[in-house]
Amino acid sequence: MPLLQLKNIECYYGPVLAIKGVSLSVEEGSVATILGANGAGKSTILKTISGFIEPEKGEIRYKEENIAGLGPQQAVKRGICHVPEGREVFDELTVAENLRMGAYLRKDRHNVPADLERVLGYFGPLRERYRQRAGWLSGGEQQMLAIGRALLSRPRLLTMDEPSLGLSPMLVKEIFKIIRRINTEEGTTILLVEQNARLALQTASYGYILEVGRVVLDNTTRELMENQDVQEFYLGVQQESIRGKKRWKRKKLWR
């Protein structure tokens, strides 16, 4: 039984259909990823799961329950937490205050100090800047803060939208090391959207390819990395160099 299952989800922005008939599932304890071009609907899927968008059709099964349309507070209460694209930390608040906001809805307040300590263990720079305003942090530190704040809600499922956006290669490496640790050490299930397809496929065990609002391909990331279309369109590998044959051209890329 997967932790999360989307069944035929359809979302609109006004009259504009953004995702149509999207079905996917995420196993408990795993890292799954969604790849797709700009505008494919990746963020829409994550926002729908975390309750920020109500789907027009379809089901979001989380454990035994359909949570579609319950809203973000109910999602957080059930252990679903979203790290949005562009971080969105509270600039005027300190690092400490931002982190505590993450624990806002928790009933088990007595566990919060220990969790705070663990988060500061993952993200050293946040400890150094604990009393400083979040607006003064660098982009990478703000990303750490956004992830740290999400962790303080004690998520069972973490949805992450483009965590590497705007960060230097070294910081990206660092952040992804921590994302893997969160998965293995905390046992947190992660659904990851990431422009860096290679990094996403190396981090996740299962992947979905999204094209204009539809899932066109899904498989284990091991298989996806072997897939010619994925290699060509997401990993930038030239087919000639792989197969020694004339470049393979098709009008329709996917099934």
Ligand X SMILES: Nc1ncnc2c1ncn2[C@@H]1O[C@H](COP(=O)(O)OP(=O)(O)OP(=O)(O)O)[C@@H](O)[C@H]1O
Q: Does 120 contact ligand X by CB under 6 A?
A: no
Alpha carbons 189 and 81: distance in angstroms, whole number: 11
For 174, other C-beta atoms within 10 Å of its C-beta total: 18
Binds 207: which of Mg ion, ligand X, none (CB < 5-8 Å by kind): none
> Nearest CA to 79 among 67, 96, 97?
67
Q: Could you say which of ligand X, Mg ion, none residue 201 binds, taking C-beta under 5 to 8 angstroms by partner kind?
A: none
43 sits near ligand X (criterion: CB under 6 A): yes
Contacts of 234 (CB under 8 A, 6+ apart): 35, 197, 198, 201, 209
**What does 20 interact with, of ligand X, Mg ion, none (CB < 5 to 8 A by kind)?**
none
Instruction: Count CA within 13 A, CB hemisphere, residue 101.
Output: 18
Cα separation, 152 vs 100, whole angstroms: 7
Contacting residue, 22, 24, 40, 152, with ligand X by CB under 6 A: 40
CB nearer Mg ion, residue 35 or residue 99: 35
Q: Is 38 in the site for ligand X (CB under 6 A)?
A: yes
43 is a contact residue toward Mg ion (CB under 5 A):
yes
Is residue 36 part of the contact set for ligand X (CB under 6 A)? yes
Min CB(46)–ligand X separation in Å: 8
Q: From the list ligand X, Mg ion, none, pick the one residue 149 interacts with, judged by a Cβ distance below 5 to 8 Å according to partner type.
A: none
Nearer to ligand X, 46 or 152 (CB): 46
Q: Are 104 and 154 in contact (CB under 8 A)?
A: no
Residue type, 153: S
Identified binder of ligand X from the candidate list 6, 18, 35, 60, rule CB under 6 A = 18
Nearer to Mg ion, 119 or 191 (CB): 191
Distance of closest approach, residue 136 Cβ to ligand X, in angstroms:
27
The binding track of 2-41 with respect to Mg ion, each residue x by CB under 5 A or -, is ----------------------------------------
Question: Which residue do the tokens 């305003």 mark?
Answer: 133
User: Which one of ligand X, Mg ion, none interacts with residue 153, CB within 5 to 8 A by kind?
Assistant: none
The answer to the question of residue 44 lying near ligand X (CB under 6 A) is yes
Sequence-distant (≥ 6) Cβ neighbours of residue 251 within 8 angstroms: none
Per residue in 175-210, is it b (16+ CB within 10 Å) or e — as a string?
Answer: bbebbeebbeebebbbbbbbbbbebbbebbebbbbb
> From the list Mg ion, ligand X, none, which binds 44 (C-beta under 5 to 8 Å, kind-based)?
ligand X
Tokens matching residue 105: 């809805």
d(CA 164, CA 37): 16
Minimum CB–partner distance for residue 200 and ligand X (Å): 12
Pick what 98 binds: ligand X, Mg ion, none; C-beta below 5 to 8 Å, kind-dependent: none
Task: Give the footprint of Mg ion on this chain (CB under 5 A).
Answer: 43
